[in-house]
């Protein structure tokens, strides 16, 4: 998810929910975790970066891949510590590697971290996987959990994008594209996650036992349910927003969920309505010809300012060198 | 200053896996003494060091620091008087900048920020690293990291310094610098090392550990001699 | 902030003044910031490229080439990405990552999170080095190619995990040895919020608000 595809209300709503989840996670970790959690979570965040650096070849294809690591972190650290760790990785990717953008951070945290660590791990993997487990079972459950986590994320991306009205891609196509891609990614991520869990089970099984970081299992599930409810609230909020701004928006989504195939005709109508609305709203501003002039003019002024500012930097640097 | 002492009395310790790491270790180090702790890998050197700081507690026997028996309850107090420098500075330097790392110990002791600043400046000065204060650990060379790691402990102004392999993985010049820094300490020091020259240079006394037992304790030259013989036997 | 309608490209471009002016203020060349911001392009192009195909109504023509609404929104998506990435780069470069974490902590972000961020930032390079060492060791023993099979990758990653756990135990000991009691203390900064900072914040908000809602002059008028 990227800043460019999000409208402010959607981004802010997601930021607020993500921030809320982070506060809950911080409080729970402060209260429940053993104090070596600080060191463990910190280095595990760095571990995610290192693990993402090395690619593996995807079975059956010539390509290579790396993992996001949500379900894996859930399995190794527990839901909340895993969530906080993956979130910290996303924040650093956003700030230092300019991945996604600051506004989209909330969405990314919900889509990539919350859906895997707070929903898919506790609701799919933990109930199904009891160590020691047979290798095929570890693999199967990992794949399942990753698919569920990533598909939920893909759904969130679709809803967020469509509620934002910035891409012109029709929602049903966008949805199919996202879920299709993420089904494949989910399988690969699941296999990779399973491979790591198998290794840990073989060499240090005690690390997979619930320790101080992920004790109080029952309440963690409740936490996950709360997280899920909040995510659902965002989706619902997004849909409501869609509905209020564009009456046809909600119909799209409902039909998409219901899987009706008569979408196309309906959809074209909706799109032209949006186009009309857009034309009306831009009519207040200068007409398109004028706005082209505006664009060209602004670009020229920008270039001018850029040249001036770089001259400024250079002269300042020269002064520094002299000093 | 006779309360600056560490005393091990018949200390036994086994790791949770059941491995017997220490089997009846007894020794005493007093005011201003510099003692080298020698032994092969896995002989129990590091385990002994971790006991001086209450990071590990004996399964049997007692460790006494400055008159206080080390227990789970007294460990935080003991850690104020025993400063421990770990082998890998990357593990020791966990804060984003050198300055903050050196301030970590004093801040945990609850000192006010003026005093913390004074100590940070002082500690960095003593290891000759004032100019590194604002740097991040990953920007430092191996020798600089080691010097700063020493400063993080010096800033707590401990009575006793405990060091694990202070010269490991250093080139000759960096090793020289670290040795010089340590030689200027007036603290009681317990230094675990494989570096015989360092032991010889800094420590009048040495203790030799083998298989969790103390096999020799005395003047450094003699102990090194015994150590060499022991290795030949093995 | 950048949420102007996708069609209002002219207005959107105004926002570019912000990074262009702020870059030299933060002591950087805008050109470099611009180049670095290009890394964000691929994903956005992938999503945005559909716009020209779906929004095909003509908007204006320049010298016989018809520009459709789709192309305008496509360009607008790209511009908005670049701008947001650029402002972010300038922010991080000027305060530094740890400076940012500390400011976050001061404005009330839970210390669990800020500490976590600082730790990850600190150990990122250490672990990348470790992972690189492991990769080299593998290559030295004759494995070719940059990709591992999934199984081997699992072993590699698991191994890295075990090392990570061991390292976290050592770090935790080093923390305990220096009086760690569950939270990382922060040295108070000398610098506090000055009147100058307030003026800067108000000015920035004012300028950005002007870009978004204010009446903006058109500098040049071209006639075709």
**Per-residue pLDDT tens over the stretch A139-179:** 999 999 999 998 888 888 888 888 887 777 777 777 888 88
Nearest to C164 among A11, A44, A165 (CB): A44
Residues 6+ apart with CB under 8 A from A89: A45, A48, A49, A69, C120
- Give the per-residue pLDDT at B218: 92
Distance to chain C for B105, nearest Cα, Å: 5
Q: By residue range, what is the domain housing residue B68?
A: 6-89+159-233
CB B196 within 8 A of CB B165: no
Mean per-residue pLDDT over chain A, rounded: 71
Same domain, A239 and A304: no
Please give the pLDDT value at position A304: 59
Look at residue A310 in the predicted model and tell me its pLDDT.
60
The answer to whether residue A277 is domain-embedded is: no
Measured CA to CA, the distance from residue B198 to residue B178 in angstroms comes to 10
Specify whether C142 is located in the same domain as C173. Answer: yes
> How many CB pairs (< 8 A) connect A and C?
322
- The CA-atom distances, in angstroms, between B2 and each of B188, B190, B202, B205, C205 are 11, 16, 21, 18, 64
Are A293 and A240 members of one domain?
no
Give pLDDT, residue A15.
87
Mean pLDDT, residues C140-152: 73
pLDDT of residue A225: 54
Do the Cβ atoms of C179 and B76 come closer than 8 Å?
A: yes
Domain assignment present for residue B127? The answer is no
Q: Mind telling me how many Å the CA of C143 is from chain B's nearest CA? A: 28
Do A53 and A187 lie in a common domain?
yes
Q: What is the DSSP letter of B39?
A: -
Same domain, residue pair A160 and A107: yes
| Chain C: residue whose CA lies nearest to A320 | C27
Residues of chain C with Cβ-Cβ distance to A245 below 8 Å are: none
Are C29 and C82 within one domain? yes
Compute the Cα dihedral for C55, A156, A184, A180 and give only its sign.
negative
Tell me, what's the pLDDT at B171? 87
E-assigned strand segments in A109-203:
none
Contact by Cβ (8 Å): B43, B232: no
- Complete edge-to-edge strand list for the sheet that includes strand B60-65: B20-29, B6-14, B60-65, B68-69
For residue C98, which of B120, B101, B148, A29 has the smallest C-alpha distance? B101
pLDDT of residue C147: 67
* Domain identity same for C49 and C73: yes
B100 → chain C, closest CA residue:
C187
Residue C142 lies in a domain: yes
Question: Is the same domain home to C72 and C121?
Answer: no
* pLDDT for residue B1: 42
* A273 domain-assigned: no
* Residue B207 belongs to a domain: yes
Residues C18 and C76 in one domain: yes
Segments forming the whole domain that contains residue A76: 3-245
> Is position B95 within any domain?
no
Long-range contacts of C44-50 (CB under 8 A, 24+ apart): C44/A2, C44/A4, C44/A5, C44/C77, C44/C78, C44/C81, C45/C78, C47/A2, C47/A4, C47/A5, C47/A161, C47/A167, C47/A169, C47/C77, C48/A4, C48/A167, C48/C73, C48/C74, C48/C77, C48/C78, C49/C74, C50/A167, C50/A168, C50/A169
Residue B144 resides in a domain? no
Residue A167 lies in a domain: yes
SS3 of residue B25 by DSSP: strand
Backbone φ/ψ region at C3: left (φ over 0), alpha (ψ -120 to 50), beta: beta
Q: Which residue in chain C has the smallest CA separation from A8?
A: C3
Query: For position B96, what pLDDT does the model report?
Result: 84
Question: Rounded CA gap, A202 and A41, in Å?
Answer: 23
Cβ within 8 Å, pair C177-B84: yes
Stretch C81-87: mean pLDDT, rounded? 74
**pTM reported for the whole predicted model:** 0.72
- Quote the longest CA-to-CA distance of chain A: 73
- Structural domains counted in chain B: 1
Region of B194 on the Ramachandran plot (φ > 0 left; ψ -120 to 50 alpha; else beta): alpha
For C33, nearest residue in chain A (alpha carbons):
A98
pLDDT of A286 > 70? The answer is: no
The answer to whether residue A146 is domain-embedded is yes
CA-nearest residue of chain C to A6? C3
A179 and A40 within one domain: yes
Q: Which chains touch A (3 or more CB pairs under 8 A)?
A: C
Bigger pLDDT: A293 vs B13: B13
- Over residues A234-249, the mean pLDDT reads 45
Using CB atoms, pick whichever of B55, B88, B116 lies closest to residue C177: B55
User: Is residue C196 situated within a structural domain?
Assistant: no
Contacts with C, B 46-85, CB within 8 Å: 50, 53, 55, 76, 79-80, 83-84
pLDDT, average across residues C179-205? 69
Q: Is residue C27 part of a domain?
A: yes
Rounded Cα distance between B206 and B222, Å, is 9
Query: What are the residues whose beta carbons fall under 8 Å from the beta carbon of C128, sequence distance 6 or more?
Result: A46, A49, A50, A53
Q: At what angle do helices A79-96 and A37-53 cross, to 10 degrees?
A: 50
Q: Which of C168, C143, C162, C1 is nearest to C86 (CA)?
A: C1
CATH of the domain at B78: 3.40.50.300
Could you report the per-residue pLDDT of C89-117, keeping only the tens digit for each? 777 666 677 777 877 877 778 888 888 88
Chain C residues with beta carbon closer than 8 angstroms to that of A58: 150
Chain B adjacent subunits, 3+ CB pairs under 8 A: C
Q: How confident is the model at residue A231 (pLDDT cuts 50, 70, 90)?
A: low
Confidence check: pLDDT of A220 > 70: no
Q: DSSP secondary-structure letter at B132?
A: G
Range of the domain at C133: 111-177
pLDDT average, residue stretch C138-159: 78
Evaluate whether ipTM surpasses 0.90: no
Q: Yes or no: say if B160 and B187 are a contact pair by the CB < 8 Å rule.
A: yes
Answer yes or no: do A20 and A94 share one domain: yes
CATH number for position A20: 1.10.1760.20
By three-state DSSP, how is residue B174 classified?
helix
Asked whether residue C89 falls in the same domain as residue C115, the answer is no
Does residue A212 register a pLDDT over 70?
no
Neighbours of chain C (3+ CB pairs under 8 A): A, B
Residue in B96, B109, B117 nearest the CB of C98: B96
At residue C155, the pLDDT reads 87
In chain C, residues with a C-beta closer than 8 Å to the C-beta of A196 are 154, 157-158, 161
Task: Say whether C185 and B105 touch across the interface (CB within 8 A).
Answer: no
Which sign does the torsion angle of CA B141, B143, B145, B148 carry? negative
Asked whether residue B137 is domain-assigned, the answer is no
Q: Indicate whether B27 belongs to any domain.
A: yes
Closest residue, chain B, to C184 (C-alpha): B104
Is there a domain that residue B131 lies in?
no
Closest by Cα among C26, C11, C10, C16 to C85: C16
Contact B153, C178 (CB under 8 A): yes
Instruction: Average the pLDDT over C3-10 and give the result.
Output: 56
Residues of C with Cβ-Cβ distance to B109 under 8 angstroms: 179
User: How far apart (Å, rounded) are the C-alpha atoms in residues B200 and B224?
Assistant: 8
SS3 category, B134: coil
Q: Which residue of A has its CA nearest to C218?
A: A294
Q: Do A216 and A322 belong to one domain?
A: no
Answer yes or no: are the C-beta atoms of A73 and A43 closer than 8 Å. no
Q: For position C100, what pLDDT does the model report?
A: 79
Q: Does A138 fall in a domain?
A: yes
**Is A320 found in the same domain as A227?**
no
Q: Report yes or no on A258 lying in a domain.
A: no
Q: C165-179 as b/e, with b when 16 or more CB fall inside 10 Å?
A: bebbebbbbbbbbbb
> Residue B94 is nearest to which of C97, C125, C171, comparing CB atoms?
C171
Contacts of C130 (CB under 8 A, 6+ apart): A50, C160, C163
**Residue bearing the bigger pLDDT, C194 or A74:** A74
> Nearest chain C Cα to B90, which residue?
C126
Kindly state the percentage of chain A with pLDDT values over 70: 59
Domain count across chain C: 2
Residue C219 lies in a domain: no
Band (pLDDT 50/70/90 cuts) for residue C61 is: low
Contact A126, A223 (CB under 8 A): no
A181 plus A48 within the same structural domain = yes
Chain C residues interacting with chain B (CB cutoff of 8 angstroms):
97-98, 101, 118-119, 121-123, 125-126, 167, 170-171, 173-181, 184-188
Least Cα separation, residue C90 to chain B (angstroms): 20
Cβ contact C78:A77 at 8 Å: no
Contact A238, A106 (CB under 8 A): no
How close does chain C come to A127, measured CA to CA in Å?
A: 23
Residue A110 distance to chain C (closest CA, Å)? 16
Does some domain include residue B16? yes
- Answer for the pair B95, B39: CB distance below 8 angstroms, yes or no: no
The phi and psi torsions of A249 (rounded to 5 degrees) equal -60, -45
Rounded CA-CA distance A101/A90 in Å is 10
pLDDT, averaged per 10 consecutive residues of chain B (234 residues), comes to 78 85 92 91 91 91 91 90 91 89 91 91 90 87 91 92 90 89 88 92 93 92 91 80
Highest mean pLDDT among A205-214, A251-260, B180-189, C57-66: B180-189
Closest by Cβ to C122, choosing from B79, B80, B94: B94
| % chain C with pLDDT above 90 | 2
3-state class of B9 per DSSP? strand
CB B192 within 8 A of CB B163: yes
Q: Do C181 and A35 touch (CB under 8 A)?
A: yes
What is the per-residue pLDDT for A283?
Answer: 33
Quick one: tokens of C197? 């900072």
Q: For residue A104, which of C38, C84, C107, B46 has the smallest C-alpha distance? A: C84
The pLDDT of residue A161:
83
Write down the pLDDT at residue A207. 81
Cross-chain residue pair C177–B90, CB shorter than 8 Å: no
Of B91, B99, B104, the CB nearest to C167: B91
Looking up tokens 């820094």, which residue turns up? B181
| pLDDT score recorded for residue A284 | 32
pLDDT of residue A60: 65
Cα(A240)–Cα(A243) distance, integer angstroms:
5
In contact, C89 and A203? CB cutoff 8 Å: no
The residue assigned the tokens 């949805």 is A175
Give me the pLDDT at residue A194, please.
92
Look at B104 and C184 and tell me if their CB atoms are within 8 Å: yes
Look at residue A282 and tell me if it is in a domain: no
Give A18-38 pLDDT, tens digit per residue: 988 998 888 888 887 777 788
Tokens of C186: 């922060």
In a 3-state reduction of DSSP, which class is residue B218? strand
């Amino acid at each position: 998810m990227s800043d460019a595809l999000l409208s402010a209300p959607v981004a802010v709503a997601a930021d607020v929910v993500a921030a809320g989840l982070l506060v809950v996670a911080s409080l729970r970790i402060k209260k429940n975790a053993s104090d070596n959690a600080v060191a463990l979570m910190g280095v595990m965040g760095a571990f995610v970066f290192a693990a993402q650096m090395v690619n593996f070849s995807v079975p059956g294809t010539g390509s290579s891949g790396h993992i996001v690591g949500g379900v894996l972190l859930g399995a190794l650290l527990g839901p909340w510590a895993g969530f906080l760790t993956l979130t910290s990785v996303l924040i650093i990717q956003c700030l230092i590697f300019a991945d996604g953008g600051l506004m989209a951070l909330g969405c990314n945290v919900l889509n990539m971290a919350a859906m895997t660590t707070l929903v898919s791990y506790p609701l799919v993997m933990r109930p199904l996987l009891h160590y020691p487990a047979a290798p095929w079972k570890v693999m199967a459950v990992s794949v399942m959990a990753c698919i569920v986590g990533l598909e939920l994320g893909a759904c969130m991306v679709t809803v967020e994008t469509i509620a934002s009205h910035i891409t012109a891609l029709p929602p049903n196509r966008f949805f199919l594209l996202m879920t299709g891609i993420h089904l494949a990614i989910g399988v690969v991520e699941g296999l990779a996650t399973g491979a790591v869990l198998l290794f840990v089970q073989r060499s240090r099984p005690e690390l997979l036992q619930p320790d101080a970081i992920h004790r109080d299992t029952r309440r963690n599930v409740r936490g996950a349910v709360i997280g899920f409810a909040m995510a659902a609230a965002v989706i619902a909020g997004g849909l409501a927003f869609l509905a209020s701004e564009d009456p046809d928006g909600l119909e799209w989504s409902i039909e998409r969920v219901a899987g009706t195939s008569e979408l196309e005709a309906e959809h074209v109508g909706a799109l032209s309505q949006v186009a009309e609305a857009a034309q009306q709203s831009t009519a207040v501003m200068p007409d398109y010809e004028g706005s082209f002039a505006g664009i060209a003019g602004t670009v020229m002024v920008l270039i001018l300012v850029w040249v001036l500012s770089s001259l400024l930097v250079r002269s300042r640097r020269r002064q520094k060198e002299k000093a | 200053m006779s309360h600056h002492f560490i005393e091990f009395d018949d200390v036994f310790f086994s790791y949770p896996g059941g491995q017997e790491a220490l089997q009846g270790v007894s020794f005493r180090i007093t005011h201003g003494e510099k003692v080298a702790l020698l032994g092969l890998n896995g002989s129990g050197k590091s385990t002994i060091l971790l006991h001086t700081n209450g990071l590990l507690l004996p399964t049997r026997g007692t460790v006494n620091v400055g008159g206080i028996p080390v227990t789970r309850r007294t460990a935080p107090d003991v850690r104020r008087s025993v400063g421990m420098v770990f082998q890998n500075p990357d593990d020791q330097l966990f804060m984003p900048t050198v300055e903050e790392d050196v301030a970590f110990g004093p801040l945990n002791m609850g000192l006010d920020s003026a005093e913390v600043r004074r100590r940070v400046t002082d500690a960095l000065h003593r290891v000759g690293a004032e100019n590194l204060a604002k740097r991040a650990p990953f920007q430092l060379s191996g020798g600089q990291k080691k010097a700063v790691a020493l400063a993080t402990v010096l800033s707590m102004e401990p009575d006793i310094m405990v060091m694990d392999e202070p010269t490991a993985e250093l080139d000759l010049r960096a090793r020289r610098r670290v040795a010089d820094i340590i030689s200027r300490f007036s603290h009681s020091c317990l230094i675990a090392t494989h570096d015989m020259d360092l032991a010889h240079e800094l420590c009048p006394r040495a203790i030799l550990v083998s298989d969790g037992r103390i096999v020799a304790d005395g003047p450094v030259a003699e102990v090194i001699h015994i150590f060499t013989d022991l290795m030949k036997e093995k | 902030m950048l949420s102007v309608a996708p069609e209002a490209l002219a207005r959107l471009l105004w926002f570019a003044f912000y990074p262009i002016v702020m870059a030299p203020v933060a002591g950087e060349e805008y050109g470099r910031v611009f180049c670095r911001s290009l890394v964000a392009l691929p994903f956005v192009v992938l999503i945005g490229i559909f716009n020209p195909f779906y929004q095909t109504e003509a908007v204006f023509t320049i010298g016989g080439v018809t520009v459709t609404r789709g192309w305008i929104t496509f360009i607008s998506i790209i511009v908005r990405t670049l701008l947001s990435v650029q402002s972010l780069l300038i922010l991080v470069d000027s305060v530094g990552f740890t400076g940012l974490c500390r400011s976050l902590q001061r404005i009330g972000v839970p210390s669990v999170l800020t500490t976590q961020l600082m730790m990850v930032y600190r150990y990122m390079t250490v672990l990348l080095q470790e992972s690189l060492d492991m990769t080299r060791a593998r290559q030295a023993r004759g494995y070719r190619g940059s990709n591992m099979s999934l199984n081997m990758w699992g072993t590699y990653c698991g191994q890295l995990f075990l090392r990570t756990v061991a390292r976290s135990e050592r770090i935790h000991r080093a923390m305990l040895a220096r009086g760690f009691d569950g939270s990382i203390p922060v040295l108070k900064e000398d610098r506090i919020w000055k009147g100058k900072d307030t003026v800067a914040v108000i000015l920035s908000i004012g300028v950005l608000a002007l870009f978004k809602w204010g009446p903006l002059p058109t500098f040049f008028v071209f006639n075709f």
